[in-house]
Amino acid sequence: MTDNLASMEDPRSTLSAIRSLTLGGMAVLPTDTLYGIHGLASFPGMSVKIAALKNCQPDSRGFILLTDAPEKMERWALVDDRLRGFVQRNCPGPVSFLVAAQPDAPEDLCTREGGVRRLAFRIPDHPYLLELLKLLDDPLISTSVNPTGEAPLEYAADIVKLYGDRVDLVVSDAALEARISQEGAQPSTLVDLTRTPPVILREGKVRPILSMVSAQG
């Protein structure tokens, strides 16, 4: 199945992605770290749909929401001036932020710890993806392309081979694949901003630019 494979160099791929996402489809898109499975966060049942594709349990989805601007985070996230400054100093880039959720944030996109509902957000440093996010009103759910417990897939051809028409679109990025081949695959760094000081929960591609952040443990 190759009918759903497109190159990001093809300008038609952006329109194809927007059409697929707004109609409730799932699209595999390149990011500044890895390929990711994406779906429109505001589309009913999207998180469950992506979880089923990855064969993961509802309480272990660990999805991240992607936006193109810090202010878009605040629709569903509680962000004060201190946290806003942290985000602005580290965006765009491969750093994900775990923040407290607004009361009306969708329950299926939240995790809980100590009674606090939380969301993970990121602003990726990838021109194609940022342009796509600017054209969308709502964040995208994003998660690595792999069945749960297996390593993320690194090449578009392998993604199409595994998932076929279970995803609506796969957009390839030759430069991303070349970089992964040379440097290896690294996820985004995950920082918990619900703690004071913030805590790095997952070491990833970069360390955040803020001296007050301490490593967990």
User: What is the CATH classification number for the domain harbouring 31?
Assistant: 3.90.870.10
State the Cα–Cα distance between residues 82 and 56, nearest whole angstrom. 34
Check residues 185 and 54 and name the one with the higher pLDDT: 54
CA distances 3 to 49, 72, 73, 161, Å, are 21, 33, 34, 12
The model's pTM is 0.90
Check residues 186 and 120 and name the one with the higher pLDDT: 120
pLDDT one-digit tens code per residue, 2-61: 579 999 999 999 999 999 999 999 999 999 999 999 999 999 999 999 999 998 865 545
Mean pLDDT of 174-190: 90
The reply to whether 9 falls in a domain is yes
The reply to whether 215 falls in a domain is no
**Residue 185 lies in domain:** 5-207
Total count of domains within the chain: 1
The reply to whether 213 falls in a domain is no
Helix (H, G, I), strand (E, B) or coil at 188: coil
pLDDT band at residue 155, thresholds of 50, 70 and 90? very high
Q: What is the pLDDT of residue 214?
A: 43
DSSP state of 107: G
The reply to whether 104 falls in a domain is yes
The reply to whether 216 falls in a domain is no
Given a cut of 90, whether residue 148 has pLDDT beyond it is: no
